[in-house]
Amino acid sequence: MRYEFEAVPLVRPAPHIAAAVAAWAASAPVCALVRSFAATPADRRLAEDLSLGRGDLAERLARLDRFSDIWDARRGLERNQATVLGLAPAQRRLAHAAAEALGMRDAARPRFHSYDHLLVLGGSVRGCLARTAYAAHLAQSGQVGVGRVTALGGHRPFVGDEHRSATAAGVPQLSDEYAALTHGTSTAFGLTDPHTEDGDATPSADRWAIRRYRTADSLPVDVVAAVSGAPAERRANTADTFAFFVDRLAEPRPGTRLLLVTSPINVPAQHASAVGVLGRPFGAVVDTVGTPPEFVPPALARRFGATEYLMEIRSTIRSLRRLLLADQSPRRAPRGAGQQ
């Protein structure tokens, strides 16, 4: 069976976030996935309720979140340590088609010609090298004008096959995300030594670090290791890096344009997180693009399978659920509001 779905838009900061989240959850690829993996009458009711928009939206998202546990191949580990899900051929084809429709296989172009901030999101050694290369290309080729570049990551030691990946990419000296993000940023933007360093570069979830640079044409470039929001339990996640950006570097204002660079597979989940932390509270404009494959080091090129796509669809569900909960809470007042 061949699956074809219409493209599902990303959820953007808007007065009607709940409606956009509801539309995503009711989209044909999401409902098709639930129907394909449904194992109980309750699962089949969930697919019907999502499709019809029946019942309370927050409850539907909570049920969808619980259902998506069957796609959690990580079980608390890093993505590159996940097991491979046992899927039928039709489920694998469906996962790829759904990923295509949900914007996880396409390197979309930026909407605007200029942005106040270009945010490069850290991750695996592959991501740290490819995303920084693409960000530098966008800024240096004139495709977009940017006021400032910030590479956002955390203190996370490499695990699994990342040491082999670093060696294959010709950078065997790298052993953690912050070092890889610093190397990728410095190489891509032609940076030398930072003009200031703050925090602690020692890998630890309860520590933060900022290296500040300027390019030859005076573009400010920061490389950040954000502190974890729960350092005793986990490393810093994407939302933690966004919160650190707001608290330590630059609080957005209404109309501030933010361009995020990540990998295509991560676009929907990380975009939803950015809307919740950076867009909605401040009235900022958030765009998220994936890195084209030509910017991935050849030694690290790979094709994602159905398991990876299902894991990231699960991540998107969880990000949208957090966004919906945040949308139902009071908005944060901009810094300085009410002061004379």
Average pLDDT along the chain, 340 residues, taken 10 residues at a time = 89 85 97 97 97 96 98 86 92 97 91 97 96 97 96 93 94 95 98 89 84 96 95 90 96 96 97 95 95 95 95 97 86 40
CB atoms within 10 A of CB 128: 29
- State the pLDDT at residue 70: 97
- State the pLDDT at residue 332: 53
- State the pLDDT at residue 75: 84
CB 122 within 8 A of CB 245: no
CB 271 within 8 A of CB 10: yes
pTM given for the model: 0.93
Give me the helix-helix angle, 28-37 and 57-67, nearest 10°.
Answer: 50
Q: E-strand spans in 122-265? A: 145-154, 196-199, 209-214, 220-226, 257-262
CB atoms within 10 A of CB 80: 17
SS3 percent helix, strand, coil of the chain, rounded to 5, is 45, 15, 40
- State the pLDDT at residue 244: 96
- State the pLDDT at residue 240: 95
- State the pLDDT at residue 340: 26
- State the pLDDT at residue 155: 92
- State the pLDDT at residue 4: 87
- Counting Cα atoms < 13 Å in the Cβ hemisphere of 145 gives 2
